[in-house]
Amino acid sequence: VSQSRYSHIMYRDGEALTETSLKQLQDKFPNQLLRIHRNTLVVADRVYGISRSAEGHHHILLRDCPEQPEISRRELARVRELIGES
């Protein structure tokens, strides 16, 4: 998750801040990271589906992670295509 000039990285055993931008991370790991929102990347091989809230918002489902980050409308079609959902 990006917060101003820092990127907030969350992982199984903790979290960290880095000055590396999300764009730089995505460029460095194009096959491992999936953009789901302008300020959110997820590890692609952790994705197992998409859920939809009662309010109509779409969220990514991640293996071994209770968080369900929101997918932006802009990224939804591409995310669906990449994970094989129509």
DSSP 49-68: EEEE-TTS-EEEEETT----
**C-alpha pair distances (Å), 56 with each of 59, 70, 81:** 10, 11, 19
pLDDT score for 4: 63
User: Which residues does the chain have with pLDDT short of 50?
Assistant: none
pLDDT score for 85: 76
- Give the helix/strand (H/E) hosting 76: helix 73-83
The 3-state DSSP class for residue 26 equals helix
pLDDT score for 33: 93
pLDDT score for 49: 95
The dihedral built from the CA positions of residue 41, 28, 12 and 77, taken in this order, carries a sign that is positive
